[in-house]
Structures are given as structure tokens and as C-alpha cells.
Amino acid sequence: MIFHIDKNAKKLKVEMKSLIWVYLLVFVVLKCLPSNAFAESSYVLPYPSAMPGSIFYRLNLIREEILRYWYFGDFGGFHFNLKQSDKYLVEAKTLFDYKQYLLAHKALQKSDKYFGKIYPNLLSAKNNGKNISEKKKVLKRAAQKHIEELVKIKDDAPATFNWTPEKEKPTTLNIWESIDKSIKLRQKRL
């Protein structure tokens, strides 16, 4: 009996050793092969900027209002709204990571607001005789990237969140519902 157990253990040990070698070989081969570790979309989102609560965040809000006038024109509006939509999406993602759901939810709504304004800018440009083919491609790539990020956010975020402010009625944030709405908005531009 003892002998039988020993034999089995020895067999198991050999099998384990071979498995480790196979795993190592697969690992080395996979490492050597060119890997596709890039995001699906080539569109690059900006770094997170100042977050709510910081003095710079308030300054950024003022800057945003000034820039609105600096970015006049159809293409100017396109660039401005896309930039802001990107910025607030990154802000939302960061805040979701830190479980600041209320602020994240607000940032996502802002991103949606700006994203919704992009296409009307392009339509206006088209009506003014401007070629919008390249801009449409950029918008498509941006929408793809946004959707990628929104899906990731949804994976980690709770479906709902109950927010209870001091001396006020609690509010339920339908986070998944909001994210789905954001995804739908962007899917229109694919």
C-alpha cells in the first residue's frame, strides 16, 4: 500500500514537472511572439486633469468657459466639444476608480453633454461646404475608444448607488443605466 502511494506520488511529481515545463515553454513562446497588447481603438485619451475639490478644478472650469469662445467656428466647436468630452470621460473613469460615484456620475453626464454636441458641429460644417470626412473618422475612433472605456467602467462599478447627503433625502444613482445611456449615445457615431 505504502509502495502504491509512493508510486502514485512519484508519477504525480513527474506529471507536475512536465506541466511546469510546458507552461514555461508556452510562456516563453508567447513572450517572443509579437503581442497585440494595444487597445482596440487607436484613439488616445488625455491624462486626467485636476479633480473636483481642487482649486485647479475651479480654474479649469473658468478656462473651459473662456475656451468655448476661443474655439469658434464649426471645426473649432468640433475640437472643443470632443476635447471636453474626452476630458470628462477620463475624469469620470478616475472618479469611478476611487469609488466617488456621485462625482463620477456627474462627470460622465458632462462628457455625454459635450459628446452630444459634436455631431451637430459637423453637420453645420457640412452645410457650410466644409469636407467633414476626416472629422467623421476621428469622431468614430473617439466613440470606439469611449465605448471601450465605458465597458471597463461598467465592469467595475455597482449597478446602483445610494447616496445619502447630510440632512437631505437619499438619492439612488442608476450607474449602469447611465453608462448604458452613454454607450448608446456613442454607438450612434460608429
- Give residues in contact with other proteins (CB under 8 A): 70-76, 79, 128, 130-131, 133-135
Work out how close the CB of 186 gets to other proteins at its nearest, in angstroms, rounded to a whole number.
23
The helices-and-strands tally (H runs, E runs) of the chain is 6, 2
Q: C-alpha cell of 103?
A: 462625482
φ/ψ of 5, rounded to 5, equals: -60, -45
Collapsed DSSP state (helix, strand, coil) of residue 188 = coil
Work out how close the CB of 136 gets to other proteins at its nearest, in angstroms, rounded to a whole number.
11
Nearer to other proteins, 121 or 178 (CB): 121
Taking the C-alpha atoms of residue 17 and residue 40, their distance in angstroms, rounded to an integer, is: 37
Distance set, CA 144 to CA 23, 164, 167 (Å): 35, 34, 41
Identify the residue whose cell numbers are 448604458: 180
Nearer to other proteins, 36 or 131 (CB): 131
Work out how close the CB of 190 gets to other proteins at its nearest, in angstroms, rounded to a whole number.
22
Nearer to other proteins, 137 or 184 (CB): 137
Name residues whose C-beta falls within 8 Å of residue 57's C-beta, 6 or more positions apart in sequence: 49, 50, 51
Nearer to other proteins, 47 or 70 (CB): 70
Taking the C-alpha atoms of residue 79 and residue 118, their distance in angstroms, rounded to an integer, is: 8
Collapsed DSSP state (helix, strand, coil) of residue 186 = helix
Work out how close the CB of 55 gets to other proteins at its nearest, in angstroms, rounded to a whole number.
27
Work out how close the CB of 119 gets to other proteins at its nearest, in angstroms, rounded to a whole number.
17
Nearer to other proteins, 34 or 129 (CB): 129
Nearer to other proteins, 75 or 176 (CB): 75
Work out how close the CB of 73 gets to other proteins at its nearest, in angstroms, rounded to a whole number.
4
Name residues whose C-beta falls within 8 Å of residue 139's C-beta, 6 or more positions apart in sequence: 78, 82, 118, 119, 122, 189
